[in-house]
Structure 1
Amino acid sequence: MEERLLKIFVAIYEEKNLSRAAEKCFVSQPNISNGLKKLEEILGKKLFTRHKRGVEIKTEAHYLYPIAKRILGELNTIPEMFKEENFKTKITIGIADSLPQQFKSSFFKEATKVLGNIEWDIRPINRDCDLNLLIREWKFEEHLYLPLGKENYVLCVPEAHPLATKNKITIHDLNNQPFIHCPPCEAHQQSLSILNQTGKKWNTIANCQNKNEVLTLLIAGLGITFLPSVFASEWNGFKIKNYDGPKNFREIGLSYAQKSLKNQKVAQLIDYLSNTKTNFLKQ
């Protein structure tokens, strides 16, 4: 079906006259007549009945008209859709669990400012994503990695806990305390190891696989724990204490496969972040 034939049909339908339709389409009347004849042959239906003053619209033409208008309208929008400033590139990005909301918001605000018209497809972290926003230790082995910020760990104590009133807490104060443990966390593992070396231990009351689960039990008052500072600062229901003990941090960055750089927007973002000092983590 030619676009030209639909334009001829719409002109005849709206003008109800072949001569005026020809003027509207900037063609001769024989071209209008031949175009209508070809369209009717394709459809196997008569669309108009000619008379001296113009044409009479048949039922088939009433049915075709809104379809033809919609098709022509969609065809007319295609050039606009593919103008550079309007065409959206998609980036599939995996987001690790329990990253600070402040960090994620700042990242997307800056990235969108740099990239312009972009469509984000946000998923859990996966090696098939164009980008992954995650903790360094979770980087996929074959991926490249771009660090974006470090976040210190802080000691968090329920408001009703006896340690909440203590000005400075040492690692020895953790002895036999109810502790919400996150096995993948290096801060937890290191503190546990030091306690064990001194013949002390903590009283594990829960093992959690991510920081969100740890946070839930902390706010419930079940025990003390370590949490990343920016992540912890976004919540209430516990106290962040002055801790005189081993210092730990986690690093957040972008993990991506070499092939992801074939996406020009991904390459543009990586180049920008590699050469610009950013502060997504305000501690």
Structure 2
Amino acid sequence: MDIRQLNYFVAVYEQGSVSAAARYCCVAQPSLSAALRQLEQELGVTLFLRLPKGVLPTEDGEKLYGHAGRLLGQLQSLKASFREPVARVKFRLGLIRALGVERMSQLLREFSNSVAGLELHLVEPEEPCDARIITPHQLKAGEAFQPIWRDSYLLAMPPGTALSLQQQIQLTDFEQLPLIKRTPCDAWNILYPELVRLDIKPDIRADIQTIEYALGLVSAGVGCALVPNFDSLLQRQDITLSTITSLNLQREIGLAYPKNQDSVSLTILRQLCKTVG
């Protein structure tokens, strides 16, 4: 057993899938899978149950996670005790909601590892900040915009419903459809005016702000919701996802920063955003 194996194990446990953990650790999936199998062989236990989409920790996996977390934390403390103190670099990054936990965690992790002494503050995009990750329509005068991601939107539905059997959803399917409205949402701003134009009236069951709450209501069978096509959502078994025809439901996400300002931290962040998109 070595530290690399434990790091991979913790990543699989926290990410919920081997593929997501491989992306998080920036390693090839076969290498991570091999290390995980070797760890299971050394311990003589099964750490995860392999599901069609993702993994589920066993009782032994839960037990190892507690030990691994403490061990890795002690190792980090040990390393830190021998490092010379570095000057703190404060950086305020404004983030809109619903950016995708997995990809944002990876970007922020790489940013923190690339800037020595970084003290990162995540704030609302309307607050004073050094840079913002936003959509183009939120851009302010004097800011440059560097694209990072382009997301398509899907309709999330409770599994087992008649509509969930359709791979593609027509606009007419929204007539009296139990629907969870989420604002602000770029896709909603495109879809709803089109439904009004066609005199299609969905059954609005809730009006909330976050994707997490929307997905919770979908999973509970309250209604359907528009969600970005994040990889993590495609692995969930408590919801069904289908595309919506006739409309181009997309949004662009990018890094906004002052045109007349620059810093080492901002330069590094801009370069990282070019590689993760």
Contact 1:127–1:140 (8 Å) recurs in 2? no
Q: Within 5 Å, give how 1:12-51 maps onto structure 2.
A: none
Structure 2 runs not aligned, ≥5 long:
1-83
- Cα gap change, 1:126/1:235 in structure 2, threshold over 3 Å: closer, same or farther? farther
- How well do the aligned residues superpose, as a CA RMSD in angstroms? 2.6
- Unmatched tracts of structure 1, length 5 or more: 1-79
Match of 1:216 in 2: 216
* 1:133-152 pair list within 5 angstroms: 133-152=133-152
Please name the residue that 1:279 is paired with: 276
1:251 and 2:252 aligned? yes
For residue 260 of structure 1, report the CA deviation from its aligned partner: 4.7
Do residues 240 (structure 1) and 241 (structure 2) align? yes
Shift of 1:220: 2.1
Structure 1 residue 118 displacement after superposition: 2.4
Report the CA distance shift for 1:273/1:279 in structure 2 as closer, same or farther (over 3 A). closer
State percent identity of aligned pairs: 21
How many residue pairs get aligned? The number is: 193
Q: Secondary structure at the match of 1:278?
A: helix
- What letter corresponds to residue 276 of structure 2 in structure 1? N
Distance, in Å, in 1 between the alignment partners of 2:239 and 2:176 is 19
Please list every run of at least 4 consecutive aligned residues from structure 1 whose deviation after the TM superposition is greater than 6 angstroms: none
2:184–2:209: 8 Å Cα contact kept in structure 1?
yes
Any conservation in 2 of the 1:134–1:253 contact (CA below 8 Å)?
yes
Shift of 1:206: 1.5
CA distance in 1, matches of 2:186, 2:269: 30
| C-alpha contact (below 8 Å) 1:133/1:253 kept by paired residues | yes
| Partner Cα distance (2:184, 2:177) in 1 | 20
Report if the CA contact (8 A) 2:142-2:258 is conserved: yes
Checking the alignment, whether the CA contact within 8 Å between 2:153 and 2:249 is kept in structure 1 is yes
- For residue 114 of structure 1, report the CA deviation from its aligned partner: 4.0
Scaled by the length of structure 2, what TM-score is found?
0.60
Q: TM-score, normalised by structure 1?
A: 0.59
Contact between 1:160 and 1:221, CA under 8 Å: does it hold in 2?
no
1:117: Cα distance to partner? 4.4
Q: Do the aligned partners of residues 152 and 168 (structure 1) sit closer, same or farther apart at CA in structure 2, a change above 3 Å counting?
A: closer
In structure 1, the partner of 2:128 is 128
Task: Say which one has the larger Rg.
Answer: 1
1:195 and 2:195 matched: yes
Counterparts of 1:239 and 1:174, CA distance in 2: 16
Secondary structure of the structure 2 residue equivalent to 1:154 = strand
